[in-house]
Copies of this chain bind each other. A is one copy, B any other.
Amino acid sequence: MGIRWVGFDGDDTLWKSEDYYRQAEHDFEAILAGYIDLADRRMQQHLLDTERRNLKVFGYGVKGMTLSMLETAIQLTDERISARDLHRVLEIGRATLQHPVDLLPGIREAVEAIARDHEIVLITKGDLFHQEAKIAQSGLADLFHRIEVVSEKDVSTYTRVLQELEVAPARFAMIGNSLRSDIEPVIQLGGWGIHMPYHVTWALEAEHGLGAEVPNLVTVAAAVELPAALAGIEARAG
């Protein structure tokens, strides 16, 4: 029987994403540098703390990030920041929402190769509107048999999605750059993971509970290795 459905993550698996968030952070710090001393490290920690707290209210995505940046800028400057500079922070958010969708090297060919023998589903987390815009711009939408934009990638989300796909976890493999969101919950359910690390990882995505030895996990260095990695899993999935 082997693997029936293969899931792909979107951000930093199919297309560049974290780089644009890093650029936003960089531009944000350049604005704040006019008001506070960035060398004391309070700022980075405060931004991360605000983001983490605001995730519960705003969810993932650029709009939540922008609201967090605005709040952080106001608090860290003790309300001294000008409306003009807050407008520049707003424009960072707008630019991040409208960044171009650049596919990662070799990913189109890998998706096409895997789609020849499997049903494939895109499972991506974040803001519905922004994710849909990126999917449309990627030019990959038609390759997928199913697209799921979800608010959180945890065991309960994967349980629901696999039920809707009518596939047993042992017949499902997930490909993604985040051990926390793409791999760990699928492995916990009894599925398979193919980890394709990206060169940068958001601090909040770096937290996961996987040990050093995970039998159902394969790691690849680039998209060109994905079909072979999946074939290796197929052989073991029986």
Contacts and interface: CB of A to CB of B under 8 A. Distances in A.
Given A63-B64, A64-B63, A94 B57 contact: yes
Nearest to A93: B67
Interface stretch (A14-22, A75-83, A204-212, A217-225): A75-83
A178 B199 CA distance: 46
Per assembly, the copies of the chain total 2
A90 interface: yes
Interface stretch (A25-33, A126-134, A230-238): A126-134
Among A66, A81, A149, A151, the most chain B Cβ lie within 10 Å of the Cβ of A151
A59 B93 contact: no
A97 interface: yes
A198 interface: no
A110 interface: no
Given A58-B129, A59-B127, A83 B80 contact: yes
Among A58, A132, A149, the most chain B Cβ lie within 10 Å of the Cβ of A58
